[in-house]
Amino acid sequence: MQVVRTSRRVVGAVVSVLVCGAASAQETPVKKAPAKAPKHYVLKATPESVQWGWLDPKEPPKLTIASGDIVSIETLMHAKDQIQKGTSMEQIVALRKANPGGGPHSLTGPIYVEGAEPGDVLEIRILKIVPKKVGTNFNLPGKDFPTIGALAPEFPEGHVQYFDLDLKKNQTVFKPGIVIPLRPFPGTLAVGIDPDDPSPRKGGAKDPLAPVSSLRPWKNGSNMDINELTAGSTIFLPVFLKGGLIWTGDSHCAQGNGEVNLTALECSFENIEIQPIVRKDLKLTWPRIETPTHYIQVGFDESLDKAMVIAVAQTVDFLVQAKGLDRYEAYALTALVADCRVSQVVDIRKGVHCMVPKSIFVH
């Protein structure tokens, strides 16, 4: 599909220093950004630049950048900022029902990256995250939403809490005597949809390029809820549509693996600063993540068992491709060192991510 590029560009300051990135997901040398200093853009969250709950490949790009440029992106709370401190559970339920089939997420984008073509990989470095000062956690009433949440039938009433985030101390108080450290990350970071994604399309459309709900994580990333995607990490996403088309939202300021009651410490970002780089030397089927300490492979499926199988298979493939092991060695090493964690169980498709520590590779 030919995506129409917009001429509208959000102008920011030109930065003179290129932040060093993570090593490639396959241990090939990182493709360097252009020799010239990258441009730095700002994409603010506006009614035009934020979509509610759907990834639409026909949505015109809100910003066009070159590979290696840096973008500071603002995000909003759920339902285009309609969930704020004091919003009642009744209002939250009404908002959930107001967008049938779609996610609650506010998604800023899409961002078109010049040169990104289907079959390429987008290396997206997360350079910095600055949250806003309010967060929330809620579960929907199990009597009305009996499948949303690991224990939904046991919690028939909805429950919502709001939190003041202390950004200087990098924490929030759950209640007196319980303090939660902040660890912000994007719950949703996506490129344009996979036309072969089996997710239902908006309104039951048969067009593979009709909008896809932001609820389900998939090969293009989307609602992954992987709490390792903090500042300093890098994600490698396979490109499905021309320009890549980057979205982010569903911002989180803390989350336990599993996200068991439906939500994390939901928040919004004043700025999530990313640097996308087009990688034509990599070929991926599923997302891969690299942090300063780990290589991470993922799997998503409606069955948690199948999600686990995908994540383990991706880990074996990575060890063969990047570390030169044969498949039996890679399978054994995965059993010995890979820490496979349940990312979330509340987004229809469950998520598993397997973490291989870099420290075991001593040469």
In terms of CATH, what superfamily is 40-284?
Answer: Acetamidase/Formamidase-like domains (2.60.120.580)
pLDDT at 274 over 80: yes
- CA dihedral (181, 347, 339, 315) in degrees, to 10, reads -130
Mean pLDDT of 92-118: 97
pLDDT of residue 35: 62
> For residue range 186-245, what is the model confidence (pLDDT) as tens digits?
999 999 999 999 999 999 999 999 999 999 999 999 999 999 999 999 999 999 999 999
pLDDT at 185 over 60: yes
- The identity of residue 301, as a single letter, is D
User: What is the number of residues in the chain?
Assistant: 363
Strands 159-166 and 134-139: antiparallel
% of the chain beyond a pLDDT of 70: 90
Q: With a cut of 70, say whether residue 261 has pLDDT above it.
A: yes
What pLDDT was estimated at residue 340?
98
pLDDT of 31: 52
Distance CA 182, CA 136 (A): 13
Look up tokens 């928040």; give the residue: 267
Omega prior to 110 cis, within 30 of 0 = yes
Taking the domains of the chain in order of start, what are their residue ranges?
A: 40-284
Strands (DSSP E) contained in 207-257 are 212-213, 221-222, 234-238, 244-252
Question: What are the CA-CA distances from residue 33 to residues 68, 164, 210, 236, 284 (Å)?
Answer: 5, 39, 33, 15, 20
- Distance CA(291)–CA(76), nearest Å, equals 25
CB 233 within 8 A of CB 221: no
pLDDT at 32: 52
Q: What is the pTM of this model?
A: 0.90
Side-chain half-sphere CA neighbours of 155 within 13 A: 17
Higher-confidence residue of 32 and 255: namely 255
User: Quick check: helix, strand or coil at residue 27?
Assistant: coil
